[in-house]
A and B are shown apart, each in its own frame.
Chain A
Amino acid sequence: MKKIQVLGPGCPRCTQLAAAVDLAARQLGLEYEVEKVTDISEIVNLGVMMTPGLIVDGELKFQGKCPSVDELKTIIA
């Protein structure tokens, strides 16, 4: 079970990333759960300043961008 966290206070790019991650994980056939972290203090505590950010199984993958679904597949696989 992969734990995927999407960090962002609800800006359009964050929603876009959440949807793209969902799609990528489903296309890969992963067993996963997506958590949206929207509280700013919590986002900062996780070490992210530029939203949206992505954490997979506790590891920060990137921040401040919204990659394409294809790129996301290689990131979360």
Chain B
Amino acid sequence: MNWRRDWWPLALIAAVFLGFYFLPVASPLVTSSIGEALALAQWYAREHVLTCLVPAFFIAGAIAVFVSKASVMRYLGAGANKVLAYGVASVSGSILAVCSCTVLPLFAGIYRMGAGLGPASAFLYSGPAINVLAIILTARVLGVQLGVARAVGAVLFSIVIGLAMHFIFRREEEAKASAQASLPVPEAVRPLWQTALYFAAMIAILVFANWGSPGVGSGGFWQLMYETKWWLTAAAALALTAMLMGWFGLRWYKAVVAVVPAAILALLWPQYPALAFSAAVLGLSVVIAPDKSELGEWFSESWGLARQIMPLLFAGVLVAGLLLGQPGGRGLIPPEWISAAVGGNGFGANLFAAVAGALMYFATLTEVPILEGLLANGMGQGPALALLLAGPALSLPNMLVIAGVMGWKKTGVFVALVVVMATISGIIFGSFMG
């Protein structure tokens, strides 16, 4: 046995064994918590996977393939307009960082070879928080207000943090001779308005399919939207099909293969829209996956993201359910602890949430089920936002990487700024939400 290499798995196996050895299986709290974990996983499987996550993965994959990153990167290069660079850095995470693993190289590149420390810090802060998957799932599961607050807070405060970093270290910035990055030349494939309409169709599918009931008794426009939501979804899907045929070279017989089964299912069993929706997703996948050009790339990109993120999200949901319970239930952690630490909207609660978020590592999207559990156990809205802002931007492992790129001193200041900004935005948001 190679001790150097194998001590880690051995320790893990021993820990799991001891855990099960002493597990109080008969305790009602343990059995009920396991039930909570399963119930939460079922809720996700029923409510969030098919109509929310699946289209979101297709949108994220499409961003990776069809949005020209090079044209965005031009604004973050060494010769870029400094004011513009902050603005672009604060919002470009949604385009450049579809998956959180691309944030760090881009950050290092902007810092060393591009627009410098300020825009790089802005990008590092907002990037992980405003990637499309995170915003969609936050809005869907935790509510639109928190989803929007997360995106807006991340963008605004990233500019503040970037400017502060630039101001604090302005002397070093002037001394630094920046190397020139060789940026790829943007390749224009199709006019912007076509790409924009294509994204609009996909977002329409996502929004209409997830349109919630406005509640019993409220009539009018929202109720009408809710009642016709599957017709609207189908119309958006047909528009998307037409665009794929007209602009993306999808053959007509392939479009028929994708559309007809879904349409038949929709007409036969209109009471089960999930059937038609699944058939449409499957149909689309089947016709675009074998494609040799962009469409095939779109599929493999979407699938790559799903394969990478879904297992972690599934594990995150189970752990959140076990420890915190589903909304309304309770898990292993006593709710009193949570409301004592992060309940209400005090300074202490927001600070605690920001610090905990900065240290903890969240795999992409797992912050959502964890936060949902915390909210159900008495966490305040303000601390929830503080955790959402500080959490994905920072963790102990990525602090090490950041320190390797820009040194401990700058990293320390950056971490401090993130914690302070997350705390402040938490307090502001919490006081608005009452």
Contact = CB atoms under 8 A, between A and B. Distances in A.
Given A11-B99, A40-B404, A51 B105 contact: yes
Given A40-B404, A60-B182, A50 B106 contact: yes
Given A9-B104, A44-B112, A50 B404 contact: no
Interface in B90-112: 96, 99, 101-102, 104-106, 108-110, 112
Given A41-B404, A49-B113, A49-B114, A12 B106 contact: no
Contacts, number: 67
Give the size range of B's interface with the partner.
Answer: 20 to 34
Interface in B352-370: none
Given A12-B308, A49-B114, A64-B69, A43 B105 contact: yes
Interface in B157-206: 179, 181-184
A13 interface: yes
A50 B102 contact: yes
Contacts of B69: 50, 64
A47 B182 contact: yes
A48 B109 contact: yes
A41 B407 CA distance: 12
A64 B184 contact: yes
Nearest to B182: A47
A41 B179 CA distance: 13
Interface in A14-66: 16, 40-41, 43-45, 47-51, 60, 62-64
A41 B109 CA distance: 9
Interface in B395-434: 401, 404-405
Given A12-B304, A49-B114, A44 B182 contact: no
Given A47-B113, A49-B73, A40 B108 contact: yes
Contact of B108 (A12, A43, A68): A43
A62 B113 CA distance: 17
A68 B293 CA distance: 9
A49 B181 contact: yes
B106 A49 contact: yes
B307 interface: yes
26 contacts: A9-B105, A10-B101, A11-B99, A11-B102, A12-B308, A40-B104, A40-B105, A40-B401, A40-B404, A40-B405, A41-B108, A44-B105, A44-B109, A44-B112, A44-B113, A48-B105, A48-B181, A49-B109, A49-B110, A49-B114, A49-B181, A50-B96, A50-B109, A51-B105, A62-B184, A64-B70
Interface of A: 8-13, 16, 40-41, 43-45, 47-51, 60, 62-64, 68
